[in-house]
């Protein structure tokens, strides 16, 4: 099981998105935060920009929809070129149907949970998904400090994945850096969204490699990873 690093373009220079995407082409995915100023108090980008990014980079796009009515909009992001689409369970009207539609269109389906949203009520949904995203800050803005209170939820989510024998990625997003990534990996995460830790570095590509190495070392000694 290999750790994956997904740089977040929320921390990139929006005037140079194509260049910023190419600067991290050694990353596993490019994380694209879509915000609508309704579900979260911020407004970023939409389908046309995702279409342009998909043409500008070889790195697959991981679209995180922090929007109202993802049941309506999520399939359009698959059509725009996203390889993975994440919807917030707090906003989805029919999460199982939505996950199946995303998969049917050819993308990985993922479910995100805010820091205060428990994973246990959604245990039965896990087999319908390819990834679970545990937000480690309140969604809406980049550059926030990591919330340690989310670590127990990461552990519980990893336990549920193991209990059901699922091949399910566990992503964390928010405040992920060299100072926090090992704790996340030890708790059970294997996909890491990093914004300012990558795009705030002098060499973004080297930052991706360094974060991946730290996560892999922590994973190798983590009890949950034994046998994987």
Q: Which residue has the tokens 């929007």?
A: 67
Is 164 assigned to a binding site?
no
**What is each CA distance from 25 to 19, 54, 90, 151, 208, in whole angstroms?**
10, 13, 32, 29, 10
Is 175 assigned to a binding site?
yes
Is 174 assigned to a binding site?
yes
C-alpha–C-alpha distance, residues 109 and 131, integer Å: 7
C-alpha–C-alpha distance, residues 192 and 177, integer Å: 9
Is 84 assigned to a binding site?
no
Structure tokens at 4: 């994956």
Phi-psi region of 106 (alpha: psi -120 to 50; beta: other; left: phi over 0): left
Is 46 assigned to a binding site?
no
E strand residue ranges, 30-107? 30-35, 61-66, 84-88
Is 8 assigned to a binding site?
yes
**How many other C-beta atoms lie within 10 A of the C-beta of residue 101?**
17
Is 195 assigned to a binding site?
yes
Decide the pairing of beta strands 131-135 and 4-7: unpaired
Is 64 assigned to a binding site?
yes
Is 143 assigned to a binding site?
yes
Three-state DSSP at 40 gives coil
C-alpha–C-alpha distance, residues 102 and 170, integer Å: 18
Nearest Cα to 204, choosing from 2, 56, 1, 16?
16
Is 140 assigned to a binding site?
yes
CB 75 within 8 Å of CB 101: yes
- Residues with a known catalytic role: 33, 173
Which residues does the annotation place in the binding site?
8, 31, 33, 64, 140-143, 173-175, 195-196
Q: Can you say which residues are annotated as belonging to the binding site for substrate? A: 8, 64, 140-143, 173-175, 195-196
Instruction: Report the binding-site residues for a divalent metal cation.
Output: 31, 33, 64, 173
């Amino acid at each position: 099981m290999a750790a994956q690093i997904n740089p977040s373009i929320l921390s990139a220079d929006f005037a140079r998105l194509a260049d910023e995407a190419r600067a991290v082409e050694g990353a596993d995915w490019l994380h694209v935060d879509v915000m609508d100023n309704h579900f979260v108090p911020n407004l970023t980008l939409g389908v046309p920009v995702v279409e342009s990014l998909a043409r500008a980079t070889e790195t697959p796009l991981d679209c995180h929809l922090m929007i109202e009515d993802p049941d309506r909009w999520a399939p359009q992001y698959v059509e725009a070129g996203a390889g993975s689409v994440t919807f917030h369970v707090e906003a989805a009207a029919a999460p199982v149907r939505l996950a199946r539609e995303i998969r049917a269109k050819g993308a990985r389906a993922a479910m995100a949970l805010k820091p205060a949203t428990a994973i246990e009520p959604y245990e039965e949904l896990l087999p319908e998904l390819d990834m679970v995203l545990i937000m480690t800050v309140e969604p809406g803005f980049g550059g926030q400090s990591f919330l340690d209170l989310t670590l127990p939820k990461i552990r519980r989510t990893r336990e549920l994945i193991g209990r059901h024998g699922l091949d399910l990625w566990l992503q964390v997003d928010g405040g992920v850096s060299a100072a926090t990534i090992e704790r996340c990996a030890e708790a059970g995460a294997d996909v890491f969204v990093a914004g300012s830790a990558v795009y705030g570095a002098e060499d973004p590509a080297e930052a991706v490699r360094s974060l991946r190495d730290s996560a892999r070392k922590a994973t190798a000694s983590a009890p949950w990873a034994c046998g994987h």
